[in-house]
Structure 1
Amino acid sequence: MLQQYKTIMVAVDGSSEAELAFKKAVNVAKRNEAKLLIAHVIDTRAFQTVSSFDGMLAEQATEMAKQTLADYSDYAKEQECHDINTVIEYGAPKPIIAKQLPQEHGVDLIMLGATGLNAVERLFIGSVSEYVIRNAPCDVLVVRTDLNNKIVKEEKE
């Protein structure tokens, strides 16, 4: 019997890599007749560096995320993917994507875009995809190619 995924989560952050992962996630969700959860995490740690926390920054980030998720949801519907949910979370992306959202939504496949971090950047800050691969309770697919399985951009070395 073939593996069939029931709930596929794709994490998006506005990057071109995340968009590739999203488009592939739509196709996988359609083939599996699965739910598609489109997730965006607003990293609140970025706002902690601002000396006087400006609520407008968080508000603007939320509005941008809502618009991005709406656009992605519209695209998925156009592709005849029908069971779509979106979620915006606030906090540290790594544990939210790897643990919290999969548990809350019964995710059995996480799809992510490959990061563009080089080896030194990965050493100091670590990539979200690397963390998710190591800590997620379900399958994880890191997308590196476009819908035709062609490499779009070489990863930095």
Structure 2
Amino acid sequence: MTERSSSFERILVGVDFSDTADEVLRVARSRFPGAELRVVHVVDARAVGVPDLSSGSLMPVTPGRDLTDALSHADFARLTPLLQDHEQGDILVGDPATALVEDAARSGADLIVVGAHNRGALERFFVGSVAEQVVRRAHVPVLVVKH
């Protein structure tokens, strides 16, 4: 059995494919060598939209099974290169904070590692922060990596 530097053996790492994702993975791997990492990306079903060519913005659509399956498949192709040997990866669909907290409980994670973005106060007020919501809802410790 491998000796570990901490009591954390199963770690859920939430990534969002931003610049923060690489740093979150680096921190998780370096601070917890030998731990079992489960790297998860959540497709935010609330933010699914299609381009509105007249305005240049996204028109919201009701996410159907085909759309979320297509997004999940595309995101899994982006997730796979981030994984190292013996790391598990998964794509979930739903509210990111809720999905991460529920997956941590389901998978038996004893730590969640997520990144924090530098957002303005107004955006945090309206959108909130996934990291903040995970910290509030999780039943295990949460390590927030600030970028």
Aligned to 1:124: 126
Q: Is 1:29–1:36's contact at 8 Å kept on the other side of the alignment?
A: no
Unaligned runs of 5+ in 1: 146-157
Count residues in correspondence: 134
Which amino acid in 2 is paired with 1:105?
A: S
Aligned to 1:136: 138
Aligned to 1:69: 79
Q: So what's the TM-score if we normalise by structure 1?
A: 0.75
Which amino acid in 2 is paired with 1:13?
A: D
- CA RMSD, Structure 1 to Structure 2 (Å): 2.2
Determine whether 1:110 maps to 2:112. yes
Which amino acid in 2 is paired with 1:37?
A: R
Q: Would you identify which runs of 4 or more consecutive aligned residues in structure 1 move more than 4 Å?
A: 51-57
**Identical amino acids, percent of aligned pairs:** 31
Q: Determine helix, strand or coil for the equivalent of 1:5.
A: coil
Unaligned runs of 5+ in 2: 50-58
Q: Determine helix, strand or coil for the equivalent of 1:113.
A: strand
> Larger % of strand: which?
2
Q: Is 1:19–1:113's contact at 8 Å kept on the other side of the alignment?
A: no
What CA deviation, in whole Å up to 9, does each residue of 1:46-72 have, x standing for no partner?
226534757665344223311122101
Q: Pick one of 82, 86, 101 that aligns with 2:89.
A: 86
